[in-house]
Amino acid sequence: MNQYLSILFFCLIFLASCQGQTIQDRPTCSDEAFDKSVNNWLNFTVPLKGVKDLSKENLKNYLILDAREENEFKVSHIEGAKHIGYDKFSIKALDEVDKERAIVVYCSIGYRSEKIGEKLQEAGFKNVYNLYGSIFEWANQGLPLVDDKGEKTNKVHTYNRKWSKWVLNKDYEKIW
């Protein structure tokens, strides 16, 4: 019996360490239904950074990577973000980046950015975070976005019409 309890205890510790954060530590989105949707899409394999937390920090302390496609990035992105894409992502684009550098990856809601974050971790990057709720939550919080010319914009590419329902802030125009 003690052997089984020891194995169970070890497994629970292992699973907790794989998750990166406990449920209580996870950031949340501004809308309960959106938060539930985000939770359903993520595996929580990459530590999370909340939008509120990131927006209060000096963004220059992070390499911010946009894991959406180029047409999405051109419509709007977080100022200072580097486009890395998803379908054509190449780890070689980050050859010059220090493996200890703090990196935040985002996409529309966090699914694609989590997958890219996993690839970064596999490549040896140590401080990788997935932006919880990603650009949709950034817009929902009313935080600033810029277009491909670096000018402020209120447009958000929503991936497609179905996903546009999660941009809840009426001050932002939905593009798909």
Q: In whole angstroms, what is the distance from residue 35 CA to residue 37 CA?
A: 5
Look up tokens 């054509």; give the residue: 88
Handedness of CA 141, 147, 153, 159 (dihedral sign): negative
Q: How many CB atoms lie within 10 A of CB 56?
A: 8
DSSP per position, 84-115: --STT--GGGGTTS-TTSEEEEE-SSSHHHHH
Handedness of CA 108, 78, 26, 117 (dihedral sign): positive
Backbone angles phi, psi at 131, to 5 degrees: -75, 110
Beta bridge partners of 65: 82, 105
Q: In whole angstroms, what is the distance from residue 159 CA to residue 152 CA?
A: 20
Active site residue 18: no
The catalytic residue positions are 107
